[in-house]
Amino acid sequence: MTEPGSPPDLQVGPFALWIHRYEALGEDGEEDADGLHVTARCAGQGAEVAITGTFLAASDLEQWLRECAELQRRPEGEASLEPVEPNLAVRLTGDGGFGRIEGEVEITPDPLFQQHSFRFQLESSGLPNLIQQLAAVCRRYPVMRGGGAIT
């Protein structure tokens, strides 16, 4: 888990993400250098859900960065963080240029028996900050395949 008081690597609305390290081995025992060991947390009035594990990849964050940059250019679009693992999904949907972004976070430690969903709004002026955070994370944890960064 995260240390008390440590700032997240990424935060948007009620969603926060801490990246601990690359995960060395995949579930099948083969090298999975792209996988990240993370803690994700989302909190709303009366509820907080936190999960820790390897359910996110550096390539997922890189894709979300590209989609967020496109959402900034085209405010009627959507930017989604949707890893292969079903523990987490974050969707940001623009309102077509009226200055608001609708956000939704689906987060669960147990996708077979639990579902948790949080909805929020944020000003589109907050998007550049998210893009900056994502870019910093992607520089620190570049997409890796076979022991080397993809450029």
CATH number at residue 80: 2.30.31
**Could you give the CA distance from residue 54 to residue 74 in angstroms, rounded to a whole number?**
32
**Could you give the CA distance from residue 80 to residue 94 in angstroms, rounded to a whole number?**
11
In total, how many domains does the chain have? 1
Instruction: Annotate 79-101 with b (16+ C-beta within 10 A) or e (fewer).
Output: bbbebeeebbbbbbbbeeeeeeb
Virtual torsion, Cα 133, 134, 136, 140, nearest 10 deg = 140
Task: From first to last of the 151 residues of the chain, give the pLDDT tens digit.
Answer: 445 579 999 999 999 999 999 987 445 545 567 899 999 999 999 999 999 999 999 999 999 999 999 999 999 999 999 999 999 999 999 998 889 999 999 999 999 999 999 999 999 999 999 999 999 999 999 998 654 454 4
Q: Which domain holds residue 95?
A: 10-143
Q: Is residue 116 part of a domain?
A: yes
Q: Is residue 5 part of a domain?
A: no
Q: Is residue 46 part of a domain?
A: yes
- Six token digits for residue 82: 């949707």
pTM, whole model, 2 decimals? 0.88
